[in-house]
Amino acid sequence: MALLELRNKKSHAVVELGEAPLPFGFDAERRLVCGKPVAEKIGSVEGRTLRWAGGERLLEPGVAVDVDGVELTLHADEADLHAAALNEIAGLLWSVRDADELLGRVLDAVLRVLKVERATIALRDDDDAIAPRVTRGEGLELNASVVQATIESSAAILTSSAAVEDSDDGESGGFTIDVRSVLCAPLHDFGVLYVDNAGRRAHFTNQELEFTSGIAQLASYAASNLATTRALEEENTLLKRRLGLGGEIVHASDSMATVFERVEKAAGFDATVLITGESGVGKEMVARELHRQSPRSEHLFVAVNCAAIPETLLESELFGYASQSGIAGADPKGRAGRFEQAEFGTIFLDEIGEMKPELQVKLLRILQDKMIDRLGGAEPRHIDVRIVVATNQKLALLVREGAFREDLYYRLNVVTIEVPPLRRRRADIEVLTEFFLRNYPGPESLRKVGMTKAALKALKSYDWPGNVRELKNCIEQALIMGDGKAIRVGDLPAAVRANVKTDVMDEDLEPLSEIEKRHIARVLKATGWNKAKSSRILGISKPTLYDKIRNCALKPDAPA
C-alpha cells in the first residue's frame, strides 16, 4: 500500500494511491483537494509517477517534492500513514482555535486512517457524565463499561466481540458472524476518543491501538490548551468589563445606527463633541467609541463625572495642584489633574451642566488656548487633549436661566450627538438583553441561561425610564432570583411585571411536549446516550425512545 501526503500552508491530506490517476489542486475556495474534480488542477499522480506542467518525475518514499506550493511525500506503509496523521494533528494545535472544529478534524483523521465510518469524542459534562461532544457517523453507542475502564486506567483499550445473526442472502448457510471491535483511548481524565469498526470487516490491531492512543493524547492536550486559553480570555473580558473597558455597544435600531454614523464622521477630527441624552442611555459608551475610532486611541481615555465629585474637590481633580501648594492634605510634590493625565488622549466630562461657573471659566480657557493652571501654580501648562462632554440637561435652557455660560455653550456645541432613550429604540432591547446575559460578570453557568418568549415580550412592552442601565440591572436581578435555567416573567422586577397582561403570563407556561423533550434529553445525556439504559430509566420501550428521539429532533451534541 502506497500513501501520498499533500501539504501546503493552509491544508494537509493523506490519501491512498490506487491504479487510477490521482489529480490534485484547489477547489473554488482555494482549498487543497485531491482525488476528485478540482477547479484549478495542478497535477496528478499515477502509480508513483508525478506529472505536472513542469514535467514528470518518479516519487521516492520519504522524499518531499514541491509543485507550485504543494508539497508531496510518498509513504510506503501503514506506519508512515499513522505518523503523517499524528503530524497533521500536531499541526492543528497551533492553527485551530475553536474546540469543536479541532475535535472534528481529529475525528476526520481517525476515520481516514482506520477506514471506519463513525467515531466520537465524548467529554465530561456539568453533571460529571461522559457524553458525546463531537461525532462523525450515525448509530454509534458508547459502551459505558469500556469508557469507565478507560478513564480509570488512563490507558487505551481494544475490545472485540462476535455476534451471530440470521441471514437470508442464501450464501452463508442462514447466518452471518458480525465481528465488533472497539477502540477507546483516554483524553486525560475528562473524556475519551471512541471508535468502532463499522464500515470495515477487519477488527482493530495493536498498531492501530497505539495510533489511536497517540491521537487521543494530542487531542487532549489541544482541548486542555484551548480551554485554558478560553478561560484566560473570559477572565480578561471580565476584568475589562469590571473596569469599564472593552467598548462594546450593542444595537439593532436605526436610531442607534444614526448615532454610529455621526461617531464615525466625528472620530477623525479633534472638534469638541457634546453628547446629549437621558440618564442611563449609554453616553459614556458612545464617548469611548468615539475615542476608540479616533487617532488618539493609543492614548488614555479619562472619564470624569462632574456631578459625582464634590465641588470643593472638582477643581483640583480636573486641573491638579502645584508643589508646595499649601492645600491641606496635598502631596508636597504636587499632582497632575485629569486633563494632564489625558495628555494626547481624550477627556470625557459627564454631567457638564453640573459644573459651577468658576470652573466653567477655566474650561473655556482650555478650549480657547489649550492651557491649564494648576492650583497654587504660577506658570500655565500647555496640554494636547480632546474634550468630549455629555449632559442629560437642556444646556440651552440653562443658558437662558443664567446657570451656564453662553460662550462656553457655543464652544462645546461644535458637534452634537444625541443618544435616544431606550423606549424610542425598542429594537435594541432584545440584543441588549442577550448581551447582558452572555456577559454577566458572575458564575459561568448563569451566562448560559435563556429567556422565555413571555419574559422577552414583557421587557419589550416596558418603557424603561432608567434606560439601558435599568435594563442591565433588571437582567442581573432576574439571573440571581431565577432558577438558573431560564428567565421567566415572575423573575422580572415588579415595575416590569406591572403592565404585563394575563395572556403574556400564560405564554410562560410550557406545553407538556417541551417538558418531556427536555427530560428525555437530560436522561440521554446522563447515560452517555445509552438508549437501552435510558429507556429503562424513562420507563418506555427502546423503539418508543427511538421514535421520541426522532420526533423531538434530539442529537448527542445538542444541549439538554
pLDDT tier at 248, thresholds 50, 70, 90: low
Side chain identity at residue 38, one-letter code: V
Inter-residue contact 489 to 458 (CB < 8 Å): yes
Beta strand residue intervals within 401-469, DSSP E: 415-418, 450-451
User: Residue-wise over 360-394: b if at least 16 C-beta within 10 A, else e?
Assistant: bebbbebeeeeebbbbbbeeebebebbbbbbbbee
Quick: pLDDT tens for 177-191. Answer: 555 789 999 988 788
- Long-range contacts, 398-404 (Cβ 8 Å, 24+): 398/353, 403/353, 404/353, 404/360
Count Cβ atoms below 10 Å from residue 332 Cβ, excluding itself.
Answer: 8
Average pLDDT over residues 33-40: 76
Cell matching residue 364: 473655556
Average pLDDT over residues 413-429: 94
Inter-residue contact 429 to 467 (CB < 8 Å): no
Pick the closest to residue 106 from 271, 216, 254, 248 (CA basis): 216
Pick the closest to residue 287 from 259, 315, 316 (CA basis): 259
Q: Which residue is listed with cell 452463508?
A: 172
Distance CA 54, CA 257 (A): 55
Distance CA 52, CA 45 (A): 9
**pLDDT above 70 coverage of the chain, percent:** 84
Quick one: residue 484, left, alpha or beta (phi over 0 = left, psi -120 to 50 = alpha)?
A: left
Q: Is the pLDDT of residue 242 over 50?
A: no
Quick: pLDDT tens for 304-363. Answer: 999 888 877 888 889 888 876 666 666 777 788 899 999 999 999 999 999 988 889 989
**pLDDT above 90 coverage of the chain, percent:** 29
Average pLDDT over residues 386-404: 94
Average pLDDT, the chain: 83
Four-CA torsion 206, 212, 218, 220, nearest 10 degrees: -120
* pLDDT number for residue 289: 93
* pLDDT number for residue 237: 59
Four-CA torsion 486, 491, 493, 499, nearest 10 degrees: 90
Four-CA torsion 338, 339, 340, 342, nearest 10 degrees: 80
Least trusted range by pLDDT, from 406-415, 463-472, 510-519: 510-519
Distance CA 542, CA 64 (A): 53
Topology, domain 96-232: Beta-Lactamase (3.30.450)
Quick: pLDDT tens for 52-72. Answer: 988 889 888 778 889 988 888
* pLDDT number for residue 166: 57
Greater model confidence, 388 or 141? 388
Cell matching residue 263: 461617531
Domain boundaries, the chain: 3-76, 96-232, 254-420, 423-507, 512-551
Quick: pLDDT tens for 208-217. Answer: 888 888 888 8
Quick: pLDDT tens for 254-285. Answer: 999 899 999 999 999 999 999 999 999 999 99
Q: Is the pLDDT of residue 245 over 60?
A: no
Q: Which residue is listed with cell 458472524?
A: 177
Average pLDDT over residues 514-537: 85
> Can you give 468-517 as a three-state secondary structure string?
HHHHHHHHHHHHHHCCCCEECHHHCCHHHHCCCCHHHHHHCCCCHHHHHH
Domain 423-507 classified CATH 1.10.8.60?
yes
Quick: pLDDT tens for 71-94. Answer: 888 876 666 667 766 776 666 666
Distance CA 466, CA 277 (A): 12
Q: Which residue is listed with cell 478534524?
A: 105
Distance CA 329, CA 190 (A): 58
3-state helix, strand, coil in the chain (%, to 5): 40, 20, 35
Cell matching residue 465: 425610564
Count Cβ atoms below 10 Å from residue 473 Cβ, excluding itself.
Answer: 14
Distance CA 348, CA 302 (A): 6
The residues with which 304 forms a beta bridge, in sequence order, are: 349
Topology, domain 512-551: Arc Repressor Mutant, subunit A (1.10.10)
* pLDDT number for residue 296: 94
Domain 254-420 classified CATH 3.40.50.300?
yes
pLDDT tier at 112, thresholds 50, 70, 90: confident
Rounded to two decimals, the pTM is 0.51
**For helices 467-481 and 427-438, angle between their N-to-C axes, nearest 10 degrees:** 50
Count Cβ atoms below 10 Å from residue 478 Cβ, excluding itself.
Answer: 25
Least trusted range by pLDDT, from 99-108, 242-251, 389-398: 242-251
Count Cβ atoms below 10 Å from residue 84 Cβ, excluding itself.
Answer: 20
